[in-house]
Each structure stands twice: as structure tokens, then as C-alpha cells.
Amino acid sequence: MAFVLPKLPYADSDLDPVISAETIGFHYGKHHNTYVVNLNNLTKDSPLADASLDDVIAQTYGKADKVGLYNNAAQIWNHTFYWNSMKKGGGGAPTGRIADKINADFGSYDAFRTAFSTAALGQFGSGWAWLVNDAGKLKIVKTANADGPGWMGAGKPLMVVDVWEHAYYIDYRNRRADYVSAFLDKLVNWEFADSQLG
């Protein structure tokens, strides 16, 4: 069973003007798709060809001789989660259970927003900033390159922002701070994050 590029939960142009269709075309259509193509090539005619994405990650994480497999599988997982972490007309302060948890664990949405922005801007080079549920407490976690908190024992992911330059450079050039602000204010899919609470 070949690995496939998951369908986007919206049209390429739906996040305009916050994230342009051009960025989606390159980020999803080129970068994300390349990870899928690479993983299929790397697993062809091997026992991992029929494994789930989660199984490939579990069997390759932390193994130096499996880094190519791990990087491509983990990037497919992370990018799929990122697309689901956004929606047209999203962003701003959440409501419902996720809002209650943010207020309880960070003190306020504004405090969360500051902490999340600091993590996203403080991730040196390529990586991710995540909101996770760690044993019932919400926390913010940064990961580098293809790493993700779920398989690193750092909590269950609820929401993520991609801070690799290809996620924002066409639209924001080197202004990562503007991209992160726009992500939080206009894109976050809080309903998806809430659904991940379980």
C-alpha cells in the first residue's frame, strides 16, 4: 500500500490573503508531496511498504541508519497536522473546552499567545511550535526539523505552526513574526485543537 498525499481540508486559495495560493502550491504541492514520493521510494519492496505512517516513525525515530525514512515520514505527519491546524476565518481567542484549558494552564489567552509566539520565533532554523496536552496540562513545545512531540514523549499535539522558511517566505519574506501573528490571529483552527483533547 503506497503512502499518499493527504487531501487538504480546504482549497488552495481559501487561506488567502494570510497564506497565498502560491505558498500552498509550493508548500503542499511540492514540499509535502516530495516527502510522500521519497517515502514511497525508500520503503519500496521493504517490510515498511505496508506499514502505517505512525509505524514507520516509531520504527525509525532515533536510528541513525534510518534517518532518511524518519525525516520523510515525520514530515508527512507534521505537515498533515499543520494543514488541519488552520482554517479559513480561524484564529483569535478560542471558545469551549480548549479556551477553558488555555485559561487554566496559561492564565489567559493573551499569556498563551505571548508564550506561543515566543516559542515560534525562538525556534532557531527550521522547525515547529506546538500546543500539546502533556498528562492533562497544556504546554508549548518547540521541535527542530522533522521532530514531533507525540513520538518524543513531549505530549499529545493539539495544534502546530510550521516555522520552516518555505511555510511563509513567499508571503512574508523574512518576517517570521508577522507570519506567526497572522497564523494566531486569522488562521488557527481551534475546533480541530479542541477535537484533539479527546
**pLDDT mean over 106-122:** 98
CATH among 3.40.30.10, 3.55.40.20, 1.10.10.60, 3.40.50.300 for 96-196 = 3.55.40.20
**pLDDT mean over 15-30:** 98
Percent residues over pLDDT 70 in the chain? 99
**pLDDT mean over 113-127:** 97
Per-residue pLDDT, 198: 84
**pLDDT mean over 106-133:** 98
Q: Contact at 8 Å (CB) between 83 and 29?
A: no
pLDDT in tens, 23-46: 999 999 999 999 999 999 999 999
> Around 94, how many Cα atoms within 13 Å sit in the side-chain half-sphere?
26
Percent residues over pLDDT 90 in the chain? 99
Per-residue pLDDT, 1: 62
Q: What whole-number distance in Å separates Cα of residue 33 and Cα of residue 98?
A: 31
* Domain 21-84 in CATH 1.10.287.990: yes
Q: Contact at 8 Å (CB) between 114 and 136?
A: no
**pLDDT mean over 171-198:** 97
Q: What whole-number distance in Å separates Cα of residue 112 and Cα of residue 190?
A: 14
**Three-state secondary structure call for residue 134:** strand
The residue extents of the domains of the chain are 21-84, 96-196
Q: Contact at 8 Å (CB) between 85 and 159?
A: yes
Alpha helices per DSSP H over the chain: 21-26, 33-43, 53-60, 67-84, 96-106, 109-122, 149-152, 169-172, 176-186, 190-196
pLDDT in tens, 62-98: 999 999 999 999 999 999 999 999 999 999 999 999 9
- Spatial strand order in the sheet of 156-162: 137-144, 127-134, 156-162
Q: Contact at 8 Å (CB) between 117 and 180?
A: yes
pLDDT in tens, 100-113: 999 999 999 999 99
Q: Burial code of 70-102, b = ≥16 C-beta within 10 A, e = fewer? A: bbbbbbbbbbbbbbbbbbeebbebbeeebeebb
